[in-house]
Amino acid sequence: MAAAAFLQPVAAVQSNRVLNNSGAHYEFRNVSMRLIPKGSKVNIQLSRNGTYGSGKRNFCMIQASASQTSVVDPVSTPLNNSTGESKKKSNEAALILVRHGESLWNEKNLFTGCVDVPLTKKGVEEAIEAGKRISNIPVDMIYTSALIRAQMTAMLAMTQHRRRKVPIVMHNESEQAKSWSQIFSEETMKQSIPVVTAWQLNERMYGELQGLNKQETADRYGKEQVHVWRRSYDIPPPNGESLEMCAKRAVAYFEDHIEPQLQSGKNVMIAAHGNSLRSIIMYLDKLTSQEVISLELSTGIPMLYIFKEGKFMRRGSPVAPTEAGVYAYTRNLARYRQKLDEMLH
């Protein structure tokens, strides 16, 4: 069974201006403008992937749907064409999936779902360990759910990254939020990683089970009934979501917002939840509804995929920051690690 392999685990930005070797690059909504050095003409073009605004229906509480940013850095984006042809898209990118570390309600054995609770001390340690495992893998964009346990995991993981870029949550929920969170330093922009939060990546909503103790619920309704609610594909708990319903929103968001970033050559990390990530893995690995219900994801264990020529190739979980094997999967990752070593030593 395909799922068996998994049992061993695995901003809205206002107009952006970024400098690189070829001049200043501005983006506003779906317009991309690059200013070529003095004496050259200005080239203005529409970018198909310029923005990823997802409409009002995506705004809920603290989440913000994504507007694409351009944080250009030759070291952090090694998957770009080595000849420097900016118009040619890379055909290879890294995708990192990580389930949040242990939460306070995980520790208490409570159904959590979309209730927003933070990590435990163990969860913090798991997030840091996840960061060590991916510390040499390039990250250009981060997506998290709207829930604090996923956001904490992403932020703590990035404290371990060797490139030392700063993850910054993008806010486009209001014009004031856009204005007040604006960054005016081009150098700071180059040393930042946009973090996009989206409710579509939230954990499955467990309805009337949220806040209940799992063992007490099994005693009350019977183990078989609770197992059906937790592990069936299309049967939701009372007034909650089934895995099928969770997959519908999570996969749609992945296809509409995250996959285009990978297609453009950006390396993406997603910090989310057991069920939203199971849904995405079902899509990536083309699992059946029967295979996905057997899929278990451990907290704080990252999974690496390589996106190449329109296909996703699963590479498992990086073992440690010095593990050379993970970089042998692609030449581009190997070159990235070599550049990091040269720059940091």
Question: 272-307, pLDDT tens digit by residue?
Answer: 999 999 999 999 999 999 999 889 889 999 999 999
Q: Which of 41, 36, 138 is nearest to 86 (CA)?
A: 36
In CATH, the number for domain 92-344 is 3.40.50.1240
Residue 329's pLDDT is: 53
d(CA 241, CA 225): 15
Residue 222's pLDDT is: 95
Residue 344's pLDDT is: 62
The low-confidence residues of the chain, meaning pLDDT below 70, are: 1-90, 319-332, 334, 336-338, 340-345
Does 110 show up as a binding residue in the annotation?
Answer: no
Residue 92's pLDDT is: 87
Does 231 show up as a binding residue in the annotation?
Answer: yes
- DSSP state for residue 62 in the 8-state scheme: T
Does 274 show up as a binding residue in the annotation?
Answer: yes
Residue 205's pLDDT is: 97
Q: Which residues contact 345 (CB under 8 A, 6 or more apart)?
A: none
Residue 28's pLDDT is: 38
Residue 91's pLDDT is: 72
Say which amino acid occupies 11: A
Active site residues: 100, 203
| Annotated domain spans of the chain | 10-65, 92-344
Instruction: Name the token pair of 277.
Output: 């990530």
Does 102 show up as a binding residue in the annotation?
Answer: yes
Residue 196's pLDDT is: 97
Residue 317's pLDDT is: 83
Residue 152's pLDDT is: 98
